A and B are shown apart, each in its own frame.
Chain A
Amino acid sequence: MSVELKDIIKEENLVYKKTPVLTDNVMHYCPGCSHGVVHKIIAEVIEEMGIQDKTIGVSPVGCSVLAYNYLDIDWAEAAHGRAPAVATGISRVHPDRYVFTYQGDGDLASIGCGEIMHACNRGENIVVIFINNAIYGMTGGQMAPTTLLGQVTATTPYGRDAKLNGFPMKLTELLAQLDGTCYVTRQSVHTPANVRKAKAAIRKAFENTRKDKGTSFVEIVSTCNSGWKVTPVEANKWMVENMFPKYPLGDIKDI
């Protein structure tokens, strides 16, 4: 007896499907980039919590500026660095919604340093997803506040020099010091196990919003193989060997 394909493609045989919270739009991200995975796990959390109709995202300026094309939720696109202020404005008039910002290291830790500090300090009831890949991806690979010492970028062609450029910024640790943050964690998505941990962290962050606990901050140490000018596989290796010692994974604060 032969089994045909149509007999296999049945609801009861499905072991995996794309969450409907992700749209069918083709993502513009480079192959190997972490953004796609992070988008997916946020979308899955939104689906699993059943909050698609109650979630409002705020996208940044940077590679993920077009995040609104990929997650099927209401979105505001903010000016560079201002996402936490925009999210504050939304959350204050919609206190029962799940409001989150999605920001890169240039957006959040450089130009938006003031906005993120004060949103966290006020304990805005929002989630912040912070993609740290130690480089400005969209503008062509310039130095970010989180760029490592010695790291070559378009604006540190001889490597980041502490005397010239200052030091890599551990903003996440700073934000954990503020009384308004309830949950501050650092994750990655370079292995299936890490993807699962990152997803659990994002889920916890959104659950905190449900409980009105204050600001939840999830940093994802990420790769930018295009900006780093290496292959995706080499990028993962470079991240583990160079980024993790400076930006160690794990919960920094959980109250």
Chain B
Amino acid sequence: MAEVKLMKGNEVLAEAAIRCGCDAYYGYPITPQSEVMETLMLRKPWEETGMVVLQAESELASINMVYGAAACGKKAMTSSSSPGISLMQEGLTYLAGAELPCLVIDVVRGGPGLGTIQPAQSDYFQATKGGGHGDYHLIVLAPASVQEMNDFVGLGFDLAFKYRNPAMILADGVIGQMMEKVQLSEYKPRWTQEEIDKMSDNWALTGKKAHRSHNTVTSLELDSYKQEVFNHKLQEKYKLMEENDVLFEEIQCEDAEYIFVAYGSASRICQKAVQLCREKGIKVGILRPITLYPFPKKEIARLSKQVKGILTVEMSAGQMVEDVRLNVANNIPVEHYGRFGGVIPTPEEIVEALEKQIIGA
């Protein structure tokens, strides 16, 4: 029987990590996601599954601990919130450059700087555009419910190992802090060393085996022509992600004359806004990107030929709207409505924005 519980988003991340066979969590406390490590420390998974949980001295250290464990072919993860994720950007570019799979969770709060501890979606750029130096991308999943906080931990690891690339769950303070009903995943055992050897013998660190040359995990290449070849390889990988692993949800788009494009908490608020619009006789739907990278480009293009206008709704000053504008295939208005700095928009505001910025414009 599947286990159904009422749980907080952050607690579910911890529970899902244990249940999906995660080998190691390294983290540093920061609001609004501290419950992830607190839950793990209370649960003591090292006694149950052998999973390592360690509080690091900084986000710099925790992402580099993840790098170390990931270099061993292990399922390693960390979680943080916006200022901490900024600190992790160095580690993330090294992970991408060394082609290491791992899972990083960003429970976003408002910025810039120390900003606020309230929910925001202003980390879209640093999550989807690389964030650190060099040409690379993370795989970015955007949960819109506590259920998806559970589901995306396993999915994040699957995609990370499929592409040998870091994956990120881009949540926000609402999803992290709210309680909802969740169906927890079944327990999956941690990989045995034999299973890891079978999958990752040509790169993972175990100690040099007699049958192979030594493995080196590095992102260094002094020969620029070889570095260019490697970068082409990364670009090929990103192309494959775009072809095979775009995820999105369409809500009431069949007859829609206008659509909201929104992810995470904002998409939940848009559902109420759609209801209010339809009560007024305005046919509105929602395109909810689930993977923010790879971005659902084709769906934006397709819907842009069907509708009269698009309003992106983000808890930011307008970040994802750039990707929407890049991918519309028709001359329709694409506008942004956002509340930010920790402020959450109301459904009424969103309806008003649609009427003013798109319909009445």
Which chain A residues have a beta carbon within 8 Å of chain B's beta carbons? 51-56, 58-59, 65-66, 68, 72-79, 82, 85-94, 97, 114-115, 117-118
Contacts and interface: CB of A to CB of B under 8 A. Distances in A.
A114 B57 contact: yes
Contacts of A94: 72, 205-207
Given A56-B206, A90-B71, 6 more contacts: A76-B67, A89-B66, A89-B76, A93-B68, A93-B72, A97-B207
Contacts, number: 134
A56 B207 CA distance: 6
B214 A82 contact: no
B58 A114 contact: yes
Interface size class of B (residues with CB under 8 A): 35 or more
Given A73-B208, A74-B205, A118-B57, A88 B217 contact: no
24 contacts: A52-B207, A53-B209, A56-B207, A58-B68, A74-B215, A74-B216, A77-B98, A79-B94, A82-B67, A82-B91, A85-B56, A85-B61, A85-B62, A85-B68, A86-B68, A88-B26, A89-B64, A89-B67, A89-B76, A90-B72, A90-B205, A93-B69, A97-B207, A115-B64
Contacts of A78: 64, 67, 94
A89 B69 contact: yes
B201 to A, nearest CB: 11
- The 8 closest A-B CB pairs, nearest first, are A89-B68, A89-B65, A77-B218, A85-B64, A118-B57, A86-B68, A82-B64, A90-B68
B253 interface: no
B65 A86 contact: yes
A114 B61 contact: yes
Contact of A82 (B61, B74, B213): B61
Interface string B87-116: 000110010001000000000000000000
B7 interface: no
A34 B195 CA distance: 41
Contacts of B215: 74-75
Given A75-B216, A77-B218, A79-B90, A93 B208 contact: no
A219 B54 CA distance: 27
B91 A76 contact: no
A92 B61 CA distance: 14
